[in-house]
Amino acid sequence: MKTCLFTLMMICATAFSVCRAQTPVYLDDSAPLDARVEDALSRMTLREKIALIHAQSKFSAPGVPRLGIPEVWTSDGPHGVRPEVKWDEWEQAGWTNDSCVAFPALTCLAATWNTEMAALYGKSIGEEARYRNKDILLGPGVNIYRTPLNGRNFEYMGEDPYLASQMVVPYVKGVQSCGVATCVKHFALNNNEINRHTTNAIVDDRALYEIYLPAFKAAVTEGGTWSIMGAYNLYKDQHACHNSYLLNDILKGEWGFDGVVVSDWGGTHDTWQAITNGLDLEFGTWTDGLSSNSKNAYDNYYLADPYLKLIEEEKIGTSELDDKARRVLKLIFRTGMNKNKPWGALCSEEHYAAANKIGCEGIVLLKNDNDLLPIDTDKAKRIAVIGENAIKMMTVGGGSSSLKVQHEVLPLDGIRQFAGNDIEVSYARGYVGDTSTVFDGVSSGQDITDNRNEDELINEAVEIARNADYVIFVGGLNKSRFQDCEDSDRKGLELPYAQNRVIEALAKVNDNLIVVNVSGNAVAMPWVDDVPAILQAWYLGSEAGNSIAKILFGIENPSGKLPFTFPVKLEDVAAHNMGEYPGTKRNDGSDITDTRYNEGIYVGYRWHDTRHIKPLFAFGHGLSYTSFKYGKVTASNSEMTANDSITFSVDVTNTGNRAGAEVVQLYISDEKCSVDRPVKELKGFKKIYLNPGETQTVSFSISKDALSFFDTGTHSWVAEPGKFTAHVAAASDDIRSSVQFELK
């Protein structure tokens, strides 16, 4: 008995000693991050390093089980945490506890022009991802709005690089404060969905650096994002997910990015380029995980067995592998192995409140003749609501941003709730668009089938609108193919499903017509002169109906501003006027389509200003239920040097009878330059809240960086001495005051 006891004690002591000897130093949180990463890397075998840099399932990578390094779990998307899918498939896993809060689409966030809303957004969605044990949130998207036909514009932050840069940084910081990495996408030049896997973007360096890269750079150098997602398209004839110029030279070289480059799902095409051109973590090469019919399909990824074989055959060394593994390890230490990350929360009251607040701040009042809005509940006895988008759930569909929500308040329900019991709210369909309600196994649970023809639907709508005190048409686009949807582009600028016919018929029978356009893109409005009030409402997520109703009834004062230009017609867009869209297919037998960005830096308002093209609604435009008076802008100095800054100040007064917010915008014009420059460019903005009669002084400080252009000859930013003009504006076409200054 004593012998057995002694033997047991010796076994335990030996085991304890072995455990102590093998306790990894990288578990010591007091050690510097890089030291912990190097210690972990030194303990890994060659095969473990290879396994670390590619997926093991649809949305996860394996980590290093032997060393206790956990798996890496990713999730779409930028507007909410995607429901769980099966291990190898896009279909739903059938969980009952993976519903989420759907936050407004990023076009709406950009339309708030409020960095505090971006921080709130990031923290809220980060908490939801943290609760679901996600390590990487696949977003936000910051690709520039080059054409209103891009089906994925609703996921991005508009046409202006400065606005997108300012909004992405607090979003990134908010998410990562929860111990979840952002994966800013799609790097770079993913500006159309049609032919997205085979489009080769031909862009000069000046446009690349001035227009298409600044938001990514800000996410890296100011936001500190822990990962970046490559794009599907090609650039310089290399796919963006393994593009030497974008990833090695710019991202990791010029910007010093120390995080992980993640491939988009199916974005990897070549082992050698993936090794040498900057890709770190490969996902989604086999879209169902089983196509190769092998024991483990993921071993056939480009960065899996094919990479291992090259090393074992001594055709390549391991320096690139160590760099990739080092980066993935650093991400894991920042996320899954971060013992200090906070607790998460899912579907909390605070998150619904955040979604509601962001939605209200992002809704843009485009037009409000005769102060038709807000709706006067003392005079309104009958309200007619028309349009499919009033009753269609918008959180399902759209591609990878499709969500399974705990609940979604529809516009009709929100209007009825805020109208109260004393106002009769009637509804007519008006038009029938897409009645499908299922995407990738997620069902909205709706049945909105309607087999009536256009004339029957319009006649019904006209009849209930004729005697209403207010008519609210809720239409626009949806998240179906060829509208606002991944992997397809719109076929035109016009509203689909004969909506123009409906709106024109309603305008003839009722003067109090309000059009609520739900979309992530600009649309043509041939009826704009016949409709007194227009709201741009975006995809607002779980709280859509409440946010829309609060604006309609004046519970909240609209303060959103457009993050992109609404053109009158497609020919007014530079990409369609000067550039190529969607491009020209090569005649060399390949599938490659070359898309030339001949318009260069002239995107959005830069183009409209330069060519004196009047927009339907300008970049930065947005009305309020109150009014704001701008004073004369003053400059702290009339001259500045390259080492100085200059401050511009202006007094803004709320001259109306209700509290409201105004976005004060600063644009800079270079009066004489050796290269072509836009008439003006956004270089500052501030959102201020004012009570009736209140005045606030708004100040902007700029350095020579705000005056610089990218010089392709020297590959550097240049600010040429000379005269400049600072414009304070309420929109890009609404300059309130200007002042000149000189750079010495």
Question: In sequence order, which residues have a C-beta less than 8 Å from that of residue 243 and are 6 or more positions away?
Answer: 230, 234, 235, 236, 277, 278
pLDDT given for residue 30 in this prediction: 83
Are 297 and 26 spatial neighbours (Cβ–Cβ below 8 Å)? no
Q: Is the pLDDT assigned to residue 197 strictly greater than 90?
A: yes
What H or E segment, with its residue span, contains residue 182? strand 181-187
Q: How far apart (Å, rounded) are the C-alpha atoms in residues 390 and 375?
A: 17
Percent residues over pLDDT 90 in the chain: 91
> Model-level pTM?
0.95
**What's the whole-number mean pLDDT along residues 520-549?**
98
pLDDT given for residue 15 in this prediction: 41
Percent residues over pLDDT 70 in the chain: 95
- Read off the pLDDT band of 24 (50, 70, 90): low
pLDDT given for residue 291 in this prediction: 58
Helix axes 411-419, 544-552, angle to 10 degrees: 50
Q: How far apart (Å, rounded) are the C-alpha atoms in residues 510 and 344?
A: 49
Q: How far apart (Å, rounded) are the C-alpha atoms in residues 624 and 659?
A: 10
Q: How far apart (Å, rounded) are the C-alpha atoms in residues 75 and 133?
A: 10
Q: Is the pLDDT assigned to residue 440 strictly greater than 80?
A: no
Instruction: Report the DSSP pairing between strands 660-670 and 681-690.
Output: antiparallel
Q: What are phi and psi of 335, to 5 degrees?
A: -120, -90
How does pLDDT run across 620-663, given as a tens digit for each residue?
999 999 999 999 999 999 999 999 999 999 999 999 999 999 99
pLDDT given for residue 98 in this prediction: 95
pLDDT given for residue 288 in this prediction: 59
Are 678 and 651 spatial neighbours (Cβ–Cβ below 8 Å)? no
- Read off the pLDDT band of 88 (50, 70, 90): confident
How does pLDDT run across 593-630, given as a tens digit for each residue?
999 999 999 999 999 999 999 999 999 999 999 999 99
Q: How far apart (Å, rounded) are the C-alpha atoms in residues 370 and 690?
A: 23
The CATH number for 2-334, chosen from 1.20.1260.10, 3.40.50.2000, 3.20.20.300, 3.40.50.720, is 3.20.20.300
pLDDT given for residue 295 in this prediction: 59
- Read off the pLDDT band of 81 (50, 70, 90): very high
**What's the whole-number mean pLDDT along residues 723-739?**
98
pLDDT given for residue 338 in this prediction: 94
DSSP 6-57: HHHHHHHHHHHHHHHHH--GGG-TTS-HHHHHHHHHHT--HHHHHHHTB-SS
How does pLDDT run across 371-399, given as a tens digit for each residue?
999 999 999 999 999 999 999 999 999 99
Computed from CA positions of residues 344, 346, 347, 348, in that sequence, does the dihedral angle turn out positive or negative? negative
- Tell me how many helices (H) and strands (E) the chain has: 18, 30
**What's the whole-number mean pLDDT along residues 26-33?**
79
pLDDT given for residue 290 in this prediction: 54
623-743: CATH topology is: Immunoglobulin-like (2.60.40)
How does pLDDT run across 465-510, given as a tens digit for each residue?
999 999 999 999 999 999 999 999 999 999 999 999 999 999 999 9
More confident residue, 439 or 740: 740
Rounded to the nearest integer, the mean pLDDT of the chain is: 94
Distances (CA, A) of 359 to 119, 545, 658, 703: 14, 10, 20, 33
Question: In sequence order, which residues have a C-beta less than 8 Å from that of residue 316 and are 6 or more positions away?
Answer: 275, 310
**What's the whole-number mean pLDDT along residues 409-438?**
95
Are 289 and 57 spatial neighbours (Cβ–Cβ below 8 Å)? yes
Length of the chain in residues, anyone? 744
| Structural domain boundaries in the chain | 2-334, 363-556, 623-743
Q: Is the pLDDT assigned to residue 705 strictly greater than 90?
A: yes
pLDDT given for residue 294 in this prediction: 56
**Which CATH code is given to the segment(s) 363-556?**
3.40.50.1700
Distances (CA, A) of 365 to 254, 311, 330, 615: 41, 60, 45, 16
pLDDT given for residue 568 in this prediction: 98
Q: Is the pLDDT assigned to residue 270 strictly greater than 70?
A: yes
Q: Is the pLDDT assigned to residue 185 strictly greater than 60?
A: yes
Q: How far apart (Å, rounded) are the C-alpha atoms in residues 180 and 187?
A: 20
Q: Does the annotation mark 264 as catalytic?
A: yes
Catalytic residue among 135, 264, 484, 572: 264
pLDDT given for residue 254 in this prediction: 98
Distances (CA, A) of 555 to 373, 547, 550: 11, 10, 5
Q: How far apart (Å, rounded) are the C-alpha atoms in residues 358 and 114?
A: 9
Q: Is the pLDDT assigned to residue 13 strictly greater than 90?
A: no
Question: HSE (CB half, 13 Å, CA atoms) of 428?
Answer: 25
How does pLDDT run across 200-214, given as a tens digit for each residue?
999 999 999 999 999
Instruction: Tell me which of 25-39, 73-87, 125-139, 559-573 is least confident.
Output: 25-39
254 three-class SS: helix
pLDDT given for residue 557 in this prediction: 98
